Amino acid sequence: MSLEITLQGARGKLTALRSGNPDGPKLLALHGWLDNAASFIPLLPHLAAFDVVALDLPGHGGSAHRMPGYDYAFVDWIHDALDALDALGWSHANLLGHSMGGVIATMVAASVPERVERLALIEALGPIAGKADEAAAQLRRAVIARRALNADKTPRVIANIELAVDARLAVSDMTREAARLIVTRNLRAVDGGFAWRSDPRLTLPSHVRTDESFIRSWVRAIEAPTLAIAADPAPPYFSAQTRDARVAELRDGQVEVIAGGHHLHMEQADVIAALLCPFLLKARPHPASPSSARTP
């Protein structure tokens, strides 16, 4: 069983699911893009030894949207995760991230290494890289999309949950059971049915994508032991070659490749938990004061 909790972040309310042993190792779980805390529900029974908080990132699930006129700037995700740790009173914790949540966890571990005990990533290790010769086109696409975003606040009404699940499956390769968990948490009741709770601004393209050399510098700054779990086949935006090159930059890293889809932590929870638990339960001496990250 999980408990719904609310935390206060600098940019508004953060909702989360809390589960497990209150006296166990602290574990903050960060979900993927357009998912929510429910994506970790299949794993929670396997993580009973931990004090798990699965966060709804801003704009997802029950968490607050960004204020009108603002975007989801990449750096702010780092502070959202740190706000959650602060609100929980956790000076340091283990981090578990899937996809976009894994990107955020990567960046938290790189930027404030003293707050991360161990880092477990599923289908992620740093952000998606960009190419210098595509930067102008990327910027133009993002600005045009941002200016053209429909200002109409009338929600699209979805007659029932199964139609919402169908819509998610049309754009995601996952089981219907996994999609239903995510979709159910991402709906709110309105007259005539349901509407999405997620912020439409989340679908806008990024204004800037970082060069691969910068990303590898960030990865080298991670001090926490790191486990990267990847699906086979790998997605085109995070190829096996890119993944392995980044893993090689880690001070203390390992990778496990599992046959399956992008949401393998939902569809093969027992397999993923068998990798996660032994890794996360290994004790790591924690420094008494903030450590100084090595300058890459």
Other C-beta atoms lying within 10 Å of the C-beta of residue 166: 14
Residue 255 lies in a domain: yes
Domain that holds residue 55: 3-137+209-280
**DSSP state, residue 38:** G
Residue 185 lies in a domain: no
Give the CATH number of the domain where residue 11 resides.
Answer: 3.40.50.1820
Least confident of 123-132, 252-261, 276-285: 276-285
2, 63, 99, 172: the catalytic one is: 99
Other C-beta atoms lying within 10 Å of the C-beta of residue 148: 9
Residue 199 lies in a domain: no
Residue 202 lies in a domain: no
Bridge-based pairing of strands 3-9 and 116-122 is unpaired
Whole-number Å distance between alpha carbons of 45 and 121: 19
Residue 86 lies in a domain: yes
Our answer to whether residue 99 is catalytic in this structure is yes
Instruction: Note the pLDDT tens digit of each residue in 215-245.
Output: 999 999 999 999 999 999 999 999 999 999 9
Whole-number Å distance between alpha carbons of 17 and 5: 6
Residue 229 lies in a domain: yes
Residue 75 lies in a domain: yes
Confidence band of 86 (pLDDT split at 50, 70, 90): very high
Residue 292 lies in a domain: no
Instruction: Note the pLDDT tens digit of each residue in 109-128.
Output: 999 999 999 999 999 999 99
pLDDT of residue 152: 58
Instruction: Note the pLDDT tens digit of each residue in 30-70.
Output: 999 999 999 999 999 999 999 999 999 999 999 999 999 99
Helix axes of 212-220 and 100-111: crossing angle, nearest 10 degrees: 60
Whole-number Å distance between alpha carbons of 61 and 43: 18
Whether residue 58 contacts residue 81, with contact meaning beta carbons closer than 8 Å, is answered with: no
Give the count of domains, the chain.
1
